[in-house]
Amino acid sequence: MTRVLVVDDSRFMRTVIGNALTEAGYDVETAENGSEGVKLATTFEPDVVTMDVEMPEMDGIDAVERIMARNPTVILMLSAHTERGTEATLDALERGAVDFIKKPDGSGSRNIAHLVDEVVETVDDLAEADVSSVALAHAAATAYATRTDQPENAGQATMSTAGAEAGAGNAVAGGSSDAPLARDRGTSEPDTTPGIAPAVEFDEHATPVTVDGNCADAPTIILGASTGGPKIVEQLFERLPADLEAKVLVVQHMPPEFTTRLATRLDSLSAYDVSEATDRQRLRPGEAAVAPGNFHLEVASNVGDALRLKLDDDDRLHGVRPAIDVTMISAAERVSDALCGVVLTGMGRDGAAGIEAIKAAGGQTIAQDEETSPVFGIPCQAIETGCVDTVAPANGIVDAIVDAFRTDGENDD
């Protein structure tokens, strides 16, 4: 039986969430603060933890950090509907949590019922998904480094995903394609033993990649991700070379407040000028735009070396808005410069059709590998189309992107 640990300082929330999960068939334990949650994570050995953010004695941020350093576990954050709650949630996600849910801004019975249903549904998805033990070990290494190198938790925070869709591609361990795939060169198999954080070789603070050859002028990159994605997106932006002068569109399944913060934090870490996308925005080389929550992001036109962007609130696709497919398909239809589509960790199949469209249009396509994807649904579904050129680990994605745009003969494709 799948074990779930509910950590919340509210007795009421522990009771309603715990009862709902028990009725759904889970073995449930509860903790009233982060300190108790850390202890139970060791003794109860849960498969999934639901973690409140703001708690007395030890908050959710510190609890996540300690759990990931000792017992790498799938952690779902419950975020307060405030700016402070948003920022704290992103800090916790930087330390290894996989996903989050926003608490309602009201306490009415309908709001609580909706929250409980969403928690159960998300736990179902996470329990069924192929959550990589290696990716969790990478997160554990991050937590270990944070605790040893930055004792006051002063490190830059990153984000993880929200709004993960239910549906096809949630449990796709070991998925394969008959199409030959080019493996990113120069990478090694990471340690697969969870719980031994220092032994995991995963340099998430690697220096930026250099462009040491001829590359296409003003290329366009589309990055798509869901569950577990923003932490990896942040790592990519830290390494993306400024002299590539790319135009970058990021589609991450997150609600509005979080996409705004994602753009701000990416901008602070990257050599690129990053903003949340606006309707009719002109995106130029060296700039990046993040699709805002609740809006699809399209490429309306490619004039000169700039892209004209379009936002719309059309129906959700694959249950999400923004959808990766919408952005990738529009880019495949309208981008005249060199184009590369990249799909990262996440549940569902959003992005598979977009990868097919980019490949059909003559673009390059990249998928994150299974070992470093916290959830392998989205990359696996893309790989199974037979249209992925390169499969690379998280810390090899930027190298693969640069290789995809080479014009000096180094790119075999």
Number of Cβ within 10 Å of residue 192's Cβ equals 11
Task: Name the phi and psi angles at 39, rounded to 5.
Answer: -65, -45
Q: Catalytic one among 253, 270, 373, 389? A: 253
Give the CA dihedral 203, 207, 213, 217, nearest 10 degrees: 100
* Three-state secondary structure of the chain: CCEEEEECCCHHHHHHHHHHHHHCCCEEEEECCHHHHHHHHHHCCCCEEEEECCCCCCCHHHHHHHHHHHCCCEEEEEECCCHHHHHHHHHHHHCCCCEEEECCCCCCHHHHHHHHHHHHHHHHHHHHCCECHHHHHHHHHHHHHHHHHCCCCCCCCCCCEECCCCCCCCCCCCCCCCCCCEECCCCCCCCCCCCCHHHCCCCCCCCCCCCCCCECCCCEEEEEECCCHHHHHHHHHHHCCHHHCCEEEEEECCCHHHHHHHHHHHHHHCCCEEEECCCCCEECCCEEEECCCCCEEEEEEEECCEEEEEEECCCCECCECCCHHHHHHHHHHHCCCCEEEEECCCCCCCCHHHHHHHHHCCCEEEEECCCCCCECHHHHHHHCCCCCCEEECHHHHHHHHHHHCECCCCCCC
Q: Is residue 313 annotated as part of the catalytic site, yes or no?
A: no
Q: Catalytic one among 35, 79, 226, 373? A: 226
Give the neighbor-by-neighbor strand order of the sheet with 182-183.
182-183, 390-392, 364-368, 339-343, 220-225, 247-252, 287-290, 273-276
Q: Is residue 253 annotated as part of the catalytic site, yes or no?
A: yes
Q: Is residue 350 annotated as part of the catalytic site, yes or no?
A: yes
In this structure, the chain runs to a length of: 413
Q: Catalytic one among 184, 350, 389, 399? A: 350
As annotated, the active-site residues are 226, 253, 350
